[in-house]
Amino acid sequence: MHQVANSVIALIVTVNARMMIFRHEDLVIDLNNTSKGKLYKAGQLIFIGDGYRCITMMMRNAKDYKPIQQKFKPQLTMREQCKLTMKKSK
């Protein structure tokens, strides 16, 4: 019985470690809820929905998207041939 309880506690700790809030420029992405991501720009909520869409919207709204791309590389490469169009720097 004690061994089962220890396994459950370890599982809860692992799940809590995956929660994430990431800040870049004036953008904040909240991926704490596994079913919905939230994207804020200048403190205003601009999107609630799929976490992948949140990441791509964050990249599109950022002046420098490279740090976001590096942070979420596993999620972005998991998708099949992602075709993102990014703003070009002048």
Q: Can you give the residue ranges of every domain in the chain?
A: 21-78
Instruction: Tell me the pLDDT of the chain (90 aa) as tens digits.
Output: 555 544 444 434 444 445 689 999 999 999 998 889 999 999 999 999 999 999 999 999 999 999 999 999 988 887 755 555 555 655
Whether the Cβ atoms of residue 52 and residue 83 lie closer than 8 Å to each other: no
| Calpha distance 47→14 (Å, rounded) | 27
- Give Cβ neighbours of residue 14 (< 8 Å, ≥ 6 apart): none
Coil vs helix vs strand at 9: helix
Judge if pTM exceeds 0.75: no
